[in-house]
Structure formats: structure tokens, C-alpha cells
Amino acid sequence: MKKLDWNKIASGILKAELKRRDISYEELVAMLEKIGVHETHASIANKMARGAFQFAFFLQCAKAVGIKNLRLDELDEGNFFAKKLL
């Protein structure tokens, strides 16, 4: 059994939530600005490409885009999402 890459999982979940809502990084910048969080398109793109960021950033994004619930059952090894991230 392979070890899970938790950074990749966190980045993947955030990317999936943005995609579900059809939110671009530029739109995310504006949404974060509305809640008092100052990011640039480049800083967001770098964090997402690097696949590592603070949990606080994840929470800020979740608040900005309206994420109310996360499906952590997606982390189960039998799940397609988790298999892609192994």
C-alpha cells in the first residue's frame, strides 16, 4: 500500500471545489479580498502548483467560495479520488 501524499490531497480537494463552482484563480483573488485576505493570482497559482499550503489558506478559500461541507470519505483508499492521488 502506498503512502498518501497529504499535500497533494489538500490541493486536489481545493482544486476540485473551485472547479465544481467554476471559479478561476482570478475570481478567487477577488473573493478572498472581500473577506480581507490579500493574495495575488501568482501566489495562488504557486501554492496550487506546489501542492502545499497552510490549512489557514484552505479555510480562507473555503469561506470565500462558500464551502460548507467537505466529503472526507473521498480519502478512503477504495475511492476513485484517493486512487488518483496515491
CA distance 23 to 34: 15
The model's pTM is: 0.80
pLDDT tens per residue across span 46-67: 999 888 899 999 999 999 999 9
The full DSSP string for 12-78 is: HHHHHHHHHTT--HHHHHHHHHHTT----HHHHHHHHHHT---HHHHHHHHHHHT-----GGGGSTT
pLDDT score of 71:
73
pLDDT tens per residue across span 17-33: 999 999 999 999 999 99
Q: Residue 12 — very low, low, confident or very high, per pLDDT cuts 50/70/90?
A: confident
pLDDT score of 25:
96
How high does pLDDT run on average in the chain? Answer: 85
